Structure 1
Amino acid sequence: MRAAIVAKLMYAVGKNPEVASQRDWFIATTLAVRDRIVDQWMASTRATYESKRKRVYYLSLEFLIGRLLVDALMETGLTEPVRQALDDLGVDLDQLRKIEPDAALGNGGLGRLAACFMESMATLQIAAHGYGIRYDHGLFRQVIKDGWQREYPENWLTFGNPWEFERPEVDYSVGFGGTVETVEVSEEITRHYWRPEETVDAIAFDTPVPGWRARHVNTLRLWSARAPDALRLDAFNQGDHVGALAARVRLEAISKVLYPSDATPAGLELRLRQEYFFVSASMQDIIRRHKQHHGELELLPEKVAIQLNDTHPAIAIAELMRVLIDLEDFGWDEAWEITKAVFSYTNHTLLPEALESWPVPLMERLLPRHMQIIYMINARHLDLVRSKGEHDGGVLSELSLIDESHGRRVRMGNLAFIGSHKINGVSALHSDLVQRTLFYQLNRFYPGRIVNKTNGITFRRWLFEANPGLTELLVDCCGSRVMDDPAALIDFEKYAGDAGVVDRFRAIRRAKKAELAGLIRRRLDVSVSPDALFDVQIKRIHEYKRQLLNILEIVALYDAIRANPGGNWVPRVKIFAGKAAASYHQAKLIIKLANDVARLVNRDPVVRRLLKVVFLPNYNVSLAEAIIPAADLSEQISTAGMEASGTGNMKLALNGALTIGTLDGANVEIKEHVGDDNIFIFGLTTEQVEERRRKGIDMSDVIAASPLLEEVLDAVGAGVYSPGEPGRFGDLVNSVRHHDYFMVAADFDAYYAAQRAVDARWQDTAAWWRSAIINTAHMGFFSSDRAIAEYATDIWGLPAPRMG
């Protein structure tokens, strides 16, 4: 290994060891490790070709894969050989890993789930490809300036990406705009020919994805947009140097950033271009591979399963229909049966605004043939509904793929449902709500399509890699089987009352908290004690996730401590991290409030020993790996009925954090597994939230009955935390008082009481650590291996994978 690293340093990086920088050593080490993975990658690919088995294609706009070096070392079992080789060369692996940037290919849970699923598919030796976009700059790099979020480009590709292989020969043309020519072939047959107005090239970049112990390696193929013509030479020679590049810049913007703002017509169009771009390239690639190895497209359902990760890739349904009908001469009925059998769709949200819809004029201009196909799908779909006796105009309107209520828009969720043979929610509660609310009418006419597949996480990343100390303890207690079989974690429960094991667990947690305290001090210049309770809320900033509820409770706690500084208070560090969408004003205002509260609280000598508040900027996978093993309390406090599942809740509980949360998403199942005594549940249920909304979301009555909340809202609204701008948080306070759709006021008192129950448990050391061990022991169910095994048998039509 030492020789391999030095060889890469010399012949791939072009440096002598004597003058090599840390980055040079990082690249050389990565390339040496990558070689070992490529060997198995080639073997896995050959085996798949030879067996002619069914392949899974996972289409996702996000893949939040994080840093890959330590992940690859762990998967391949090369950590210690590489560490020793580098030690011999005078290089520290722990320092080297920090050189690698996080791949800016995702935002939150959707992208992290896709990454976990890719790793689990490789672990279970399922032949799979992931397809997405190779973003030059990802979402954005979050910087906090004077408490406000500022967005900057995430330049993760500045020094290249040593993990990927560019495939310039894998180059597909993707069209936009233009016209559709109709040709009458005969009285019965009409052909349509789409003539795009412009095209962009999709270039493939492949990253090998090894499974556990590298027994199988799959491929993550990401597409980069390239203009067919680098520049207009005539314009350049006439002196219009900027104009000569205009077309290239516009076309290549497709793969620049994740989720460009859709607040403008141009931004909205760019989002649709992105989605069709990666779908079209992926479908061309899938069909090419199928033809090459299996021949007839009639065999697609037997050899191909395509999973749509949310509605972003839903245009793939219309695209496959276009290919089969226009390019391959299939009849409509046969093409539709093939399409439905190939596609399945994962729904991730009940929020109407998150279920994509596109203006019909935009679709007709940008994808004219697809719009024709969608009209035909809709007409046949509504004919089927009518044939079953449904003629109510309101019901037909709800079932239609075209929303006529606020300007004509294409409902991509409805398209994904109708064009898939299976639709899954991502937690038991969420799947039930999908059936009862979101797709109630569609489920009536297409029964049996909706199934549940509770999300899971890969323990290799979120336990073995993120928390090696706890992993070693688990192996000592449960045996080496725990490294391969998450179900073996249950044996850890036997040690919940073992003083020696508890002491080791506490020491492991404290060491991680000390590391996180050091990171907080370096990044924020705030000192926190690792002996305090670390109370963590790390997730995308959104009103339904209710960071605001957490902040208001901090204000109440701060006031209570100041009123009685000698009380029996539990020292706490409140830790926030997460990004707000660039155009989401309320979410950005919540970040500002968190930072304004932190500034006042952290400077107050009365509470300095008892309460600290920190907001860590630019939340990503690497920061999560630092926070999660150090967390004592996991905040999962979304409005009941609005979080589809969550996966942060699973990662935190796996590492022994106790959950404070509502009966929402996978919290319900976590509660069932760990038991009522080992989780802090509070607040309105889904049904109670619905009932309160029917009654009205003006919370004047609730606030009047809660002097504590009234005092907090008065303080925030009066500018106590924004003395230079007293009205800064008026919108937030007004929303809680009079437009509390997210039930912040309604749940405040229950949340405050649950936090005091947390205090009481923390002060009972034996009880706290017993609950922590029970949480870790009962997380085996939440493995992404289990989730993928269920997808394989229940959705993709594969043989049951071998677990463990």
Structure 2
Amino acid sequence: MPDSAADQAASEALRANIDHKLLCQVATEPSVASKAEFYHALAQVAREQLAKRWVETQHADRQSQARRVYYLSMEFLIGRAMNNALSALDLRDQAALVFTPPGPSIDEVMECEPDAALGNGGLGRLAACFLDSMATLGLPSWGYGVRYEYGMFAQSIVNGQQVEKPEPWVQDRSPWEFQRASKHFTVHFGGTAEHHGEWAEWHAADAVEAKAFDHVIPGHGTERVSTLRLWKAAAPSEIDLGAFNTGDYQRAAELKNRFENISWVLYPNDSTSAGRELRLRQEYFFVSASMQDILDRHFTEYGSFDNLADKIAIHLNDTHPAIGVAELMRLLVDEHQMSWKDAWEQCRRIFSYTNHTLMPEALETWKVTLIQRVLPRHMLIIYRINQEFLDEVVRLYPGDIDLMRRVSLIDDGNGHEKDKRVRMAHLSIVGSHRINGVSQLHSDLMVQTIFADFARLYPERFHNKTNGVTPRRWLAQANPDLSSLLDERIGKDWRLDLDRLQGLRESADDRAFGASFAAAKRSNKLRLANYVSREVGINLDPDSLFDVQVKRIHEYKRQLLNVLHVITRYNALLDGTAVGCAPRSVIFAGKAASSYHMAKQVIRLINDVAAVVNNDPRTRDMLQVVFIPNYGVSVAELIMPAANLSEQISTAGTEASGTGNMKLSLNGALTIGTEDGANIEIRDQVGAENIFIFGNNTAQVAAIRAAGYQPGDLYRDNPALQEALDKIDAGFFSPGERSRYHDVFNSLVHYGDHYLLLADYADYVAAQERVDTLYLTPAEWQRKAILNVAGMGPFSADRTIRAYADDTWNLKTLTNT
């Protein structure tokens, strides 16, 4: 904490500025201001300073005429902005001096800010980390997305079940956004397309206005500030005045809502045809507005599109923005009269694409009939791109009809017109000059399996960019206790150069440092325990092992395998065979998609198991289970620093990378995990002896499936597994509804156990026993935890973004001077 005269003077100046904002912008006297009013005043102080840096950044970018990258993503899970802004402005310590008793603390003031509900899982958090790194590294960059008014949903748990409700995070306007009244574009839908040679005239049936809202993304250790531009959908006119004037008020309101619901909710439920159409409209809406904005900015600066590919790079974060390939072609050819050949050459140099999944069923496709109806011109463009691409394939591999069918942008639906689908990943690949996976394993499997044909056609396009996380938010801001300890031991430069963490290796055997490291961890565990007590009503023992699995709820992530271990552990505690067990608190968090029945069943089972285990006096001192609702960035900032054990237990070959594994290791958690995603690279960096790897690897998974996997045999041959599954099936955890989990039991025992939980169960339980043994040797546990932190340098988002800038986007670093 600063205590010099200069620091004190700076904090007094900050206090005067805050008081001025309270009087002039919040219209409140400082002596009676609430915490929320203090928050808004402090936000205005930070906003003003960031705005100045922001304007200087944009000026520097224009003056340099450097190439920019535009990062298109359906999600940006940016979390709260205040702490990050104060840290970037070097005001955090001053603010702590301002907010002292008897008034609110700085932490209490920052708690007033809602999380920005602009994402759900790793995809959105990765995008947010990347924007932070782009700004910090001084790269000319913009993010583009949707300004969701209600997020995905706010999750609550009622009677053990997930309940979804809107999350209106911007209902009181965010002080961190700037509405750009002059920046709005018209986005069209439906109608018909009329050809005129190379170009076509689109006679659209509907139009919606896209209004721009900008969020500032401050760099750290620099004056640079990047932009996240989000689009809000607005009806072309506020109401249908004709309908209103004839007394049809409901019709007038319906027409307004029909346009504006595009930006209401992230990932509308796609179990209905209306939901699927809304998703397509949502994706095209933000892509079209972004493309129009990009071209408008470029033409304003250069007066020509001839140098477009020299000055812009557009990155597709997964396939949600893939329609951008067709949209850019439409704009260049139809709106700006560029020849098809020249436009396509520009496109191929501009676009790059990150793939985030190896599961064929997760690769986005759209019915041809839907695109024809909603985006008729784009369907024609996709047909032409596909034809020219297949002509190229024929020249390279004449007569290989099967290859053409596999790589075509159109799945022919076995000849049924209504079943034809556009493969958006294929469109992304054909339209991009660089395609990457997000861990070395993922990238290797990508070119060996789902995109093997494309890798044969375009081997030079495929490469790896292992994901990373920003150390500013996920260590410096989320874990101030550990950060202070690191500063004392290795200096402060690790915030901008995470490889400096290597310097901790020599401290791994320092018992005094290990004790301080353990004290920082316990402090974080107390903080999380207080939150859980307040929000969930469960009192966690801070001296127990905090066993954490926090991520989107999905079958491939195998939260259910974790539950099986919890039940096995509970059974062993009851029958007295749990020798050498450490007290353990098993912590789950994550949302299930609203239409994903099995994921919701897993959440309910977790809570039913928790209700039994936590209320059993025979076991509750040794085992507790908690599901923390409404998982998001701010909750993660509490959980990551408190975790002892990081559960990364997806079926090998299903998790592209993961970033939660990185955040947890960075904060000193040991990993129990499969050879999947970035777990392998984490093992290589921290040392195989400092991580708990278990289960079948990708080759073994493939062999098990090829041999005709019989999970029922494993169920019958393992008494502990059988007992755990039988309790689930018999309704032991759901006595009021004995059949509640028949479908869960059947999916594992009788219906194939698609994600091989039973195949990995025995090895997982054995690995958990090794965890217990180590945790009961605290000094050795701390040594390994320190070595985990020391090995996390390569997993900085700064390293990932430098690689993108050099290998994919061809960007140069800029300063504001």
Normalised by the length of structure 1, the TM-score is 0.98
Amino acid at match of 2:236: P
CA distance in 2, matches of 1:432, 1:557: 37
Counterpart in 2 of 1:453? 465
Q: Which residue of 2 aligns with 1:31?
A: 44
| Alignment pair present for 1:744 and 2:785 | no
Does the CA-based 8 Å contact 1:492-1:774 persist in structure 2? yes
- The one-letter code of the counterpart of 2:213 is F
Mark the CA change 1:756 to 1:501 in structure 2 (over 3 Å): closer, same or farther.
same
Give yes or no for contact 2:137–2:813 (8 Å, CA) kept in 1.
no
The DSSP-based 3-state class of the residue aligned with 1:242 is helix
Alignment match of 1:649 (pick from 661, 671, 676): 661
Secondary structure (helix, strand or coil) at the match of 2:754 reads coil
- Determine which of 118, 123, 130 is the counterpart of 2:143: 130
State whether residues 517 and 527 of structure 1, in contact with CA within 8 Å, keep that contact through their aligned partners in structure 2: yes
Amino acid at match of 1:448: E
- Residue type of the alignment partner of 2:502: I
Deviations 1:564-599 (A, max 9, x none): 188432100000000000000000000000000000
Q: CA deviation at 1:692?
A: 1.3
| Preserved CA contact (<8 Å) 2:66 2:812 | no
CA distance in 1, matches of 2:31, 2:247: 47
1:582 equivalent in alignment to 2:594: yes
- Matches of residues 111-150 of structure 1 in structure 2 within 5 Å? 111-150=124-163
Question: Which residue type is aligned with residue 647 of structure 1?
Answer: T
> Which position in structure 2 is the counterpart of 1:791?
804
Q: Counterparts in 2 of 1:100-499, with a 5 A limit? A: 100-183=113-196, 189-405=197-413, 407-499=419-511
Q: Is the 8 A contact 2:214 2:227 kept in 1?
A: yes
Q: How far, CA to CA, are the matches of 1:272 and 1:305 in structure 2?
A: 24
Structure 2 contact 529–540 (Cα < 8 Å) conserved: yes
- Deviation, 1:89, is 9.1
The Cα of 1:214 is off from its aligned counterpart by 4.2
Residue 417 of structure 1 deviates from its aligned partner by 0.4
> Among 531, 554, 562, which residue is 2:543 paired with?
531
Aligned AA for 2:64?
S
Select the residue among 66, 72, 79 that pairs with 2:85.
72
Report the secondary structure of 1:267's partner residue: helix
Deviations along 1:265-307, one digit per CA (max 9) or x if unpaired, are 1000000000000000000000011111122212111110111
d(CA) in 2 for partners of 1:176 and 1:268? 15
Letter aligned with residue 241 of structure 2: L
Q: Give secondary structure in 1 for the equivalent of 2:238.
A: coil
| Aligned-CA RMSD value | 1.3
Aligned partner (choices 752, 761, 785) of residue 772 of structure 1: 785
Deviation string 1:700-720 (CA, Å, 9 cap, x unpaired) is: 122222121111111111111
Instruction: Check conservation: 2:234, 2:260, Cα contact below 8 A.
Output: yes
Deviation for aligned residue 1:756: 0.2
Question: Once structures 1 and 2 are overlaid, which stretch shifts more, 73-82 or 493-502?
Answer: 73-82
Per the alignment, in what secondary structure is the counterpart of residue 169 of structure 1? Answer: strand
| Shift in Å, 1:96 | 0.5
Q: How does 1:615-694 map to 2 (within 5 A)?
A: 615-694=627-706
**1:119-147 deviations in Å (ceiling 9; x for gaps):** 00000000100000000001000010010
Select which of 504, 508, 514 maps to 2:526.
514
Say which is worse superposed, 289-298 or 166-175, in terms of deviation.
289-298
Q: State the Cα distance separating 1:337 from its structure 2 match.
A: 0.9
Shift of 1:18: 3.5
Aligned twin of 1:54: 67
Q: Which residue of 1 aligns with 2:4?
A: none
Q: Is the contact made by 2:145 and 2:286 (CA closer than 8 Å) also made in structure 1?
A: yes
| CA–CA distance in structure 2, aligned partners of residues 245 and 169 of structure 1 | 25
- Local SS of the residue matching 1:606: coil
Letter in 1 for 2:520: I
* Distance in 2 of aligned mates of 1:446 and 1:367: 29
Q: Report how far residue 158 of structure 1 moved.
A: 2.1
How many Å separate the matches in 1 of 2:264 and 2:626? 31
SS of residue paired to 2:547: strand
Deviation of 1:501 (Å):
0.3
TM-score by length of 2: 0.96
Q: Which amino acid aligns with 1:771?
A: K
Instruction: Name 1:186's counterpart in structure 2.
Output: none
| SS at structure 2 position matched to 1:204 | strand
Q: Where in structure 2 are there 5+ consecutive unaligned residues?
A: 1-13
| Alpha-carbon distance in structure 2 between the residues aligned to 1:307 and 1:566 | 52
CA 676–801 in structure 1, closer or farther in 2 if over 3 Å, else same = farther
| Match 1:609 to one of 621, 626, 651 | 621
Aligned AA (2:23) = M
1:36 is displaced (CA, Å) by 1.0
- Taking the aligned partners of 1:110 and 1:41, their CA distance within structure 2 comes to 26
The offset of 1:791, in angstroms, is 0.1
Equivalent pair of 1:793/1:800 in contact (CA under 8 Å) = no
Tell me what 2:7 maps to: none
**Native 8 Å contact 1:76 1:214 kept in 2:** no
Q: Distance in 1 between matches of 2:175 and 2:156?
A: 27
C-alpha deviation, 1:169, in angstroms: 1.0
Alignment length (residue pairs): 797
Alpha carbons 1:789, 1:801 under 8 Å: kept: no
Find out whether 1:591 has 2:603 as its counterpart: yes
Correspondence list, 1:677-756, <5 A: 677-738=689-750, 739-756=752-769
Cα distance, 1:638 vs. partner? 0.2
AA in 2 matched with 1:289: R
Distance 1:387 1:565 in 2: 68
> 1:482 Cα deviation (Å)?
2.2
Report SS of the residue matched to 2:413: coil
Structure 1, unpaired ranges of 5+:
184-188
* Cα distance in 1, alignment partners of residues 603 and 247 from structure 2: 47
Q: 1:91 & 1:709 partners in 2: Cα distance? A: 51
Separation of aligned partners in 2, 1:773 and 1:331: 59
Comparing 109-118 with 325-334, greater Cα deviation is found at 325-334
Q: In 1, Cα distance between the equivalents of 2:496 and 2:412?
A: 52
Bigger Cα displacement from structure 2, 299-308 vs 703-712 = 703-712
* Amino acid paired to 1:713: L
Q: Aligned equivalents of 2:17 and 2:745: distance in 1?
A: 61
- Quick one: distance in 1 between partners of 2:28 and 2:312? 45
Distance 1:390 1:543 in 2: 41
Residues 161 and 603, structure 2, Cα contact 8 Å, conserved in 1:
yes
- How far is 1:222 from its partner? 0.3
Sequence identity percentage: 50
Distance across 2 between alignment mates of 1:88 and 1:165: 33
